[in-house]
Structure 1
């Protein structure tokens, strides 16, 4: 057996009413909470009011920072870190999709370390971050079980991540009721993002027998949900499956990281405001074709897990879920290719990639 490492620092509770049934896990984290969320997700999902009830009942003070942007920037998390430090909070509760949960990790560090946010990218901090509890309201990022935080870096014209074991959330609560407020497009886009995590974690140079277990189980569950996603049947059972599959995919990339699909997709989000999951979905068919030449067995295992017979059928399924209505020039795609080559995740792709390869994938995906 190949040598490998497996690490997950998060205690996970899944199921209906798991937050209230395990509220002591929140209470024991500290004496004052700093709640990190977006303008809408925490409120609409009901998760914010539930956590407030728990904190009030336990007489734990709290402050709410509901200013997290979609694709949070360094400036955004700096503001959050300053507010958290001034609040005197000793633990953080992240509520929302990937943006609030990723931001919570950065804020947990900046609240106790007097550093500029750009230093996060090099893990240049000395004081352990504040403990984090995570409550996802989308079934997409799996951030509740990873040690990664993805932030927008305007100076670099892209998104970049930092990874540190100390920002694994201490505890996460996965209750599908908190995903019921998602609109159709958000539900679809976040599901595709999570599926992309499982695929990229499986088609990854650092994949291990352990990470493969989580990746394939995640993809098997997605395979049972694809038709419901296409037909917009968002019943509670489907939402519960998607949330669980997203968590499994998060456990996968917590070990492996992602590959070129994410690296290329970041530019679509940064420059064209295409939602992250949708950006990945537009690229995944050509991504699979590209890797098929060196990893036929693995690509076919992905398709089998998804209950699909070919990459062509996979592409048809993606096109039922999302469509590309934006025009791209050759110059734009060349720039995106160059930026993607600078992503650390590019080195993890199973097939060694060149900038020309990247351009061809983008061109076939977006201009065909």
Structure 2
């Protein structure tokens, strides 16, 4: 059995783990750059805890809080220039996938002179600013991956920088920062994590280790699913208590460890157009397509889908579709022209061309979109 496993990030998990382990920060230098969005890191207390830890260790810091949802290439370059101008030694990424992904690109660009046209070519030197990641949502798992996903307006999609030098050195995983996170955001990010684990098992790079992590991640999702369904039905965010938040944080981190080994598949390749052109949240986009791709896989690899369903505690794909439908609700409107355009983009993506155990045809991708969005064939 041939496989490799590499995840060099040191993880600290638990309540108040940042301040309790503040000495970790001093190993990276005397000045940090905090990378966040406009307000969420301030509101949920994560930025306060990071600053407290830095001040305990006598470390200076500056704040770059201009990261938007689905960060752009331009944002990454702006942050890199800010890092260079302030002569920082390391970066602390605080937030969901957007700040973490943007911070990784900034860490690379602050140390290497890379032109935009070469940003995604995979040819990088080893020099990069160290990254410490503080996730405040349970979705992307970016705190334990080597990926930086940026909005690429030239190609009208999202494009990935993938390099082992982008693995965060340290991740602090504390579910308390998710307290009060809106129901919809909680659901969308959790479904993103679930998609990572399922897609990891559907990847040609899956292994004994990645599948074990994926199944454990899926089980954490299943534990949290009843509370998420109740919260969707009532709109009551208090139903997503500390225990649920902790389960979802573990789900997301484990799922990140999966895709760090396997990459993603057709679901992500298809979902990027939904986000770019229709402004559908990334995790939601994946969730709308996930069961449809599993149905395609089931045609030729039924045992593979059965293995995933077993981890979910289910025996039929229809049960999984029903759960996703309950969590995600009414679907958005797509036209047949949208489907043709999005399908053509998806089949050209590396995730479909080279990473699927079951590689869908363009006709099958068309059909998946049509089925997911209730369009007549």
Work out the CA distance in 2 between the residues paired with 1:165 and 1:53: 30
Q: 1:160·1:343 contact (CA, 8 Å) conserved in 2?
A: no
What is the deviation of 1:367?
A: 2.7
Counterpart for residue 115 of structure 2: 116
Q: 1:136·1:173 contact (CA, 8 Å) conserved in 2?
A: yes
Work out the CA distance in 2 between the residues paired with 1:181 and 1:10: 28
- Picking from 359, 364, 374, the partner of 1:367 is 374
* 1:356 is the counterpart of 2:355: no
SS of equivalent residue, structure 2 residue 137:
coil
Work out the CA distance in 1 between the residues paired with 2:99 and 2:62: 15
Q: 2:126·2:165 contact (CA, 8 Å) conserved in 1?
A: no
Please provide the CA RMSD for this pair.
Answer: 1.1
Q: How does 1:87-126 map to 2 (within 5 A)?
A: 87-126=86-125
Counterpart for residue 282 of structure 1: 288
Counterpart for residue 183 of structure 2: 184
Q: For structure 1, which segment, 87-96 or 45-54, has the greater mean C-alpha deviation from structure 2 after superposition?
A: 45-54
Work out the CA distance in 2 between the residues paired with 1:183 and 1:143: 20
Q: 2:31·2:59 contact (CA, 8 Å) conserved in 1?
A: yes
What is the deviation of 1:25?
A: 1.2
SS of equivalent residue, structure 2 residue 181:
coil
Q: For structure 1, which segment, 325-334 or 29-38, has the greater mean C-alpha deviation from structure 2 after superposition?
A: 325-334
Counterpart for residue 50 of structure 2: 51
What is the deviation of 1:325?
A: 4.2
SS of equivalent residue, structure 2 residue 35:
strand
Q: For structure 1, which segment, 93-102 or 21-30, has the greater mean C-alpha deviation from structure 2 after superposition?
A: 21-30
Which portions of structure 1, spanning 4 or more consecutive aligned residues, are displaced by more than 3 angstroms? none
Work out the CA distance in 2 between the residues paired with 1:358 and 1:325: 18
Work out the CA distance in 1 between the residues paired with 2:77 and 2:123: 15
Q: 2:196·2:258 contact (CA, 8 Å) conserved in 1?
A: yes
Q: 2:22·2:57 contact (CA, 8 Å) conserved in 1?
A: no
Q: How does 1:177-216 map to 2 (within 5 A)?
A: 177-216=176-215
Work out the CA distance in 1 between the residues paired with 2:118 and 2:44: 33
Q: 2:140·2:256 contact (CA, 8 Å) conserved in 1?
A: yes
What is the deviation of 1:127?
A: 5.0
What is the deviation of 1:58?
A: 1.8
Counterpart for residue 222 of structure 1: 221
Name stretches of at least 5 consecutive residues in structure 1 with no aligned partner: none
Counterpart for residue 310 of structure 1: 316
SS of equivalent residue, structure 1 residue 350:
coil
Work out the CA distance in 2 between the residues paired with 1:152 and 1:342: 17
Counterpart for residue 339 of structure 1: 345
Q: 1:32·1:91 contact (CA, 8 Å) conserved in 2?
A: yes
* 1:319 is the counterpart of 2:325: yes
Q: How does 1:63-78 map to 2 (within 5 A)?
A: 63-78=62-77
Work out the CA distance in 2 between the residues paired with 1:58 and 1:20: 10
With normalisation by structure 1, the TM-score equals 0.97
Work out the CA distance in 2 between the residues paired with 1:64 and 1:181: 24
Q: 1:12·1:172 contact (CA, 8 Å) conserved in 2?
A: yes
Counterpart for residue 21 of structure 1: 20
Work out the CA distance in 2 between the residues paired with 1:77 and 1:274: 22
Counterpart for residue 85 of structure 2: 86
Work out the CA distance in 1 between the residues paired with 2:372 and 2:225: 21
Count of aligned pairs: 367
What is the deviation of 1:270?
A: 0.2
Q: How does 1:125-140 map to 2 (within 5 A)?
A: 125-126=124-125, 128-140=127-139
Work out the CA distance in 2 between the residues paired with 1:305 and 1:101: 29
With normalisation by structure 2, the TM-score equals 0.95
Alpha-carbon deviations, 1:87-106, whole Å to 9, x = none? 10010000000000011100
Q: 2:80·2:109 contact (CA, 8 Å) conserved in 1?
A: yes
Work out the CA distance in 2 between the residues paired with 1:123 and 1:351: 26
Work out the CA distance in 2 between the residues paired with 1:69 and 1:116: 22
* 1:250 is the counterpart of 2:249: no
